[in-house]
A = this chain, B = another copy of it.
Amino acid sequence: MKNETSEKAALRILKEKTGVKNVYFEQLYTFDSLSRDPRGHVLTVSYFALIDRNKIQLRTGAFHNANALPSLAFDHKKIIAYALKRLGYKLEYTNLVFSLLPEKFTFGQLQNAYQIILGKKLDKRNFRKKFMALNLIKSVKAKAIDTGHRPAQFYAFISRKPLELKRFF
């Protein structure tokens, strides 16, 4: 690995473990302490990726709910807590939710993504109004596969490129 940048290494490992590539990906924080690893002075450059869960084919490891993590090595818990906080901020001034959703999705799914990451319930009507005003999505036709209730309209992002917005939530 002598000739591999930390970013390339992270992308390679992500691909190896999940089969995923071409996703939104961002450097998170560099952890650097003399004591955090018994092997001595280890420098950890951490990254996070945003992925629609359904695109992930786990080859190794397992899913964990970030709010109920098992005990982890070193200071990995701190790393994840920091990532979540940053992600919460990001969703408030970017269009990055698109990374977490399939091509075609319902307003329910969209609102749900926000609610999970922000950790709070949002008002259905207000959410729809506010999000619609951003002009990021268009309605599309798709087969309703839900069950037991009125089928939802589907939407898709007009552009799936990361974008910074004025203000969000």
Q: Which residue, of A3, A29, A32, A41, has the highest number of chain B Cβ atoms within 10 A?
A: A32
Residues of chain B lying within 8 A (CB to CB) of residue A34: 3, 5
Complex alpha-carbon distance, A16 and B115, angstroms: 47
A109 within 8 A of B: no
Task: Count residues on chain A whose CB falls below 8 Å from chain B CBs.
Answer: 14
11 A–B contacts from the bound complex (CB under 8 Å): A2-B41, A3-B34, A3-B41, A5-B33, A5-B34, A5-B41, A6-B30, A27-B30, A32-B45, A43-B43, A43-B45
Shortest distance between the CB of A42 and any CB in chain B (Å): 11
User: In whole angstroms, what is the CA distance A34 to B8 when docked?
Assistant: 11
* A1-35 CB contacts (< 8 Å) to partner B: 2-3, 5-7, 27, 29-30, 32-34
B residues near A3, Cβ cutoff 8 Å: 34, 41
In chain A, positions 25-55 with a C-beta closer than 8 Å to chain B are: 27, 29-30, 32-34, 41, 43, 45
